[in-house]
Amino acid sequence: MYYTMLDYYLKLFDSGKREFAFHAENLAEYAVWKKALRERLADISGLDRCIPCEPLHQHVSTETVEGFTAEYHTLQTEPGVVMPYYLLRPEDNAGMVPAGKRPALIVPHGHGGAKRQVLIHQSRFIREALEDGFIVACPDERGSGERREFPEQGDEAAQARSNSHRELSQLGLNFGRTVIGGAVWDLMRLADRLLDEPEASGFLACAGMSGGGQQTLWFSAMDDRVSAAVTSGYFYGVRDALMELPQNCACNYVPHFFETADMGELGALIAPRPFFVESGADDPLSGKRRVANVTEQLDVTRAAYRLFGAEDRVRHSVHDGGHEWRGDGMREFLRQAMGK
């Protein structure tokens, strides 16, 4: 016999109301709601506890990585906190790359991955972005890649796909910090750097799969500088996906979030900027109801976009697979978002 707690927490979730559930009926109410929810999310995620610092930057080397010419950079995002990232620049390939100012694209990696895995699993998307003139940045998230803590460090195949999010969550809990709060802060500092590039056009997109989709969703919800957002394999109701599947990565969990909002509200914070959601029809991480658990949250998000007369800026692509990145329609989406 086991006397477990999951049913208790599910009943607790069902008996309560999300403090910032979206109910705005006009743009004035939306603005008040957006400001208040962002302040609450910055508080509970620990984003507002991150410490500003001198953004010490170094271009360490230029390497060939998975067939890409990649500049290896490091950036200090908090005192003593260093984020390595790859920076890929478009090449003038028979005139395919347009001249002039460059848009920027951040591609965060997924759970258990790192910046190199992005160049493998999303290579077609990245090559197309480079052809379209994007400067592309692929960073390591805190606790992943070259930012792993002991004992997850090492180059063995089993170790290389692991992360230290459990350790960082346990440490951060005692300081009011979370993994996703730190990740969003780092992406904000990377955005500072990219938008300060001499050739930067000011257009900044972010696109990620799984944990990269989580980073994209939170970053775009918290920072209006993100011009267009793409999340794959990470947009669904938390009850089915994060409560009934509590074995998910520790980075998914933020104190009081289940009492505050759901993913539909995070999407609503992105309005009216272009927002693309990709789902697998058989993705087990969406929960037992699969795509139905996604569309319920998208209905909340679309209600916010409707206030702006911009519901057509929310795109939902469903493929026939599981928890995987397909990328169908994303190139056209980003081109349209840039007005091309």
pLDDT at 61 over 70: yes
Q: Measured between alpha carbons, how far is 2 from 4 in angstroms, rounded to an integer? A: 6
The helix-helix angle for 263-270 and 291-307 (nearest 10°) equals 30
Each residue's pLDDT tens digit, 70-119: 999 999 999 999 999 999 999 865 445 556 799 999 999 999 889 999 99
Which residue, chain included where needed, has tokens 């590039």? 197
Three-state SS at 165: helix
Please, are residues 132 and 161 in contact by the beta-carbon 8 Å criterion? no
Exposure b/e, 235-245, CB count within 10 A at least 16 = b: bbbbbbbbbee
Q: What is d(CA 334, CA 107) in angstroms, rounded to the nearest whole number? A: 13
Q: In what order do the strands lie in the sheet with 68-78?
A: 57-65, 68-78, 81-88, 135-139, 102-106, 200-209, 228-232, 275-280, 314-319
This prediction's pTM: 0.97
Q: Which residues of 190-225 are buried (b: 16+ CB within 10 A; e: fewer)?
A: bbebbeeeeebbebbbbbbbbbbbbbbbbbbbbbeb
Please provide the average confidence, as pLDDT, over all residues in the chain. 95
Quote the crossing angle between the two packed helices 211-222 and 27-45, to the nearest 10°.
120
End-to-end CA distance of the chain: 62
What's the CATH fold of domain 19-337?
A: Rossmann fold (3.40.50)
The whole-number pLDDT of residue 100 equals 78
Q: How far is CA 241 from CA 97, 139, 284, 287, 294, in A?
A: 41, 26, 9, 5, 10
**DSSP code at position 133:** T
What's the rounded mean pLDDT across residues 300-324? 98
Round to whole Å and give the CA distance between 126 and 10. 40
Comparing 123 with 112, the larger pLDDT belongs to 123
- Of the chain, the percentage scoring pLDDT greater than 70 comes to 96
| pLDDT at site 94 | 42
Count the Cβ atoms, other than its own, within 10 Å of residue 105: 25
> Is the pLDDT score of 154 beyond 90?
no
Read off the pLDDT of residues 256-296 as tens digits, 9 standing for 90 and up: 999 999 999 999 999 999 999 999 999 999 999 999 999 99
**Which whole-number Å values give the CA distances from 165 to 43, 149, 183, 210, 318, in the listed order?**
20, 9, 11, 15, 29
pLDDT of 173 reads: 96
